[in-house]
Amino acid sequence: MQRVKKILERNFFKLRQRDYVTYLGSLTTPPYSETVIWTVLTTPVEVSKEQLDIVRKIVDANYRECQQLCERTIRASVKV
């Protein structure tokens, strides 16, 4: 977990400079409570295979199929 934290901290300021959208959604595992604000970058972020392997070891199978948008509002970041 400490290695993942370092990877995220190292890239945090780079990510703050990117455009993103947010929406209210749910957890990816039961009970799927709708208590999450998801943040999605509008352009991909490159990570090394090693970085991806580290993250996958911790969050393996922590996902579910995409769900319908329904009436969720998507908010976009705006650079000023």
Report the pLDDT value the prediction gives residue 31, as an integer from 0 to 100.
92
Coil vs helix vs strand at 22: strand
Return d(Cα 60, Cα 19) in angstroms, integer.
Answer: 27
Q: Which helix (H) or strand (E) segment is 27 a member of?
A: none
Q: What is the DSSP string of 32-45?
A: --S-EEEEEESS--
**pTM beyond 0.75:** no
Of 44, 42, 37, 46, the residue nearest 78 (C-alpha): 42
Region 45-66: what's the mean pLDDT?
A: 82
Ranges of each domain in the chain: 2-76
Cis check for the bond before 44: say yes or no (omega within 30 of 0): no
Q: What is the pLDDT of residues 26-36, one digit of tens each?
A: 998 899 999 99
Q: What is the pLDDT of residues 5-22, one digit of tens each?
A: 666 666 665 666 678 899
